[in-house]
Chains A and B, each alone.
Chain A
């Protein structure tokens, strides 16, 4: 059974700092992995989608990597800003197109 874990559960950093959010999964047989952002009281906004054949994806200040063999993905945020404050969720799409979510990392960027 696929399990997805995100560490840390919460993170507070000063503005301008580069940071890494971690996502680990127990079964390496995945179809893709998607990173989302969720603002309080809002739905999920897709940030990056990495297919199982890819190693990384980049969008602006965000870079997501995928290492299936070790069951890990990281989301790198460069030069963090207060507007980046939100909960970041990773979601692993397994065989049968079932998507399993982690519990998320709550990020707070201090001005």
Chain B
């Protein structure tokens, strides 16, 4: 079974430029998460999708970050304009849903991450 795919693995940009990250979850996983991990810290949830709907985006800096999952499969996270403090690893995770309730099991499977450096 293929895991969570992310690209690009690394990106270096100047501040105020824009960047986009792509994630393809494990096949059949209805719930998709984007996390931000700053060096030395645990991952922090940015946004959670269930199918193509947003479940939680309370910690997403909406003035500069946006994310979409138009067809309920792959997802794109965009940052525009980037700031120095956005330098981090952006992790995508997915989980499958319980038959019946449709709720996420909460067991997360992560991709390799996309490391962003903002200069």
**CB of A93 to closest CB in B, whole Å:** 4
In the complex the two chains form, is B91's CB within 8 Å of A44's CB?
yes
Counting contact residues on chain B (CB < 8 A from A), the size range is: 20 to 34
A101 to B109, CA, bound (A): 14
- Which residue of A4, A41, A49 contacts B115 across the interface (Cβ within 8 Å)? A41
With an 8 Å Cβ cutoff, the count of chain A residues facing the other chain is 23
A103 to B113, CA, bound (A): 17
What per-residue 1/0 map shows which CB atoms of B2-19 lie under 8 Å from chain A?
001010000000000000
Taking CB atoms and an 8 Å cut-off, the chain A residues in 23-77 that contact chain B are 31-32, 34, 36, 41-46, 49
In the complex the two chains form, is A45's CB within 8 Å of B108's CB?
no
Residues of B with C-beta under 8 A to A103: 40-42
A4 to B42, CA, bound (A): 10
Q: Is B104 an interface residue (CB 8 A)?
A: yes
What per-residue 1/0 map shows which CB atoms of B21-48 lie under 8 Å from chain A?
0000000000101000000111111001
What per-residue 1/0 map shows which CB atoms of A1-39 lie under 8 Å from chain B?
000100000000000000000000000000110101000
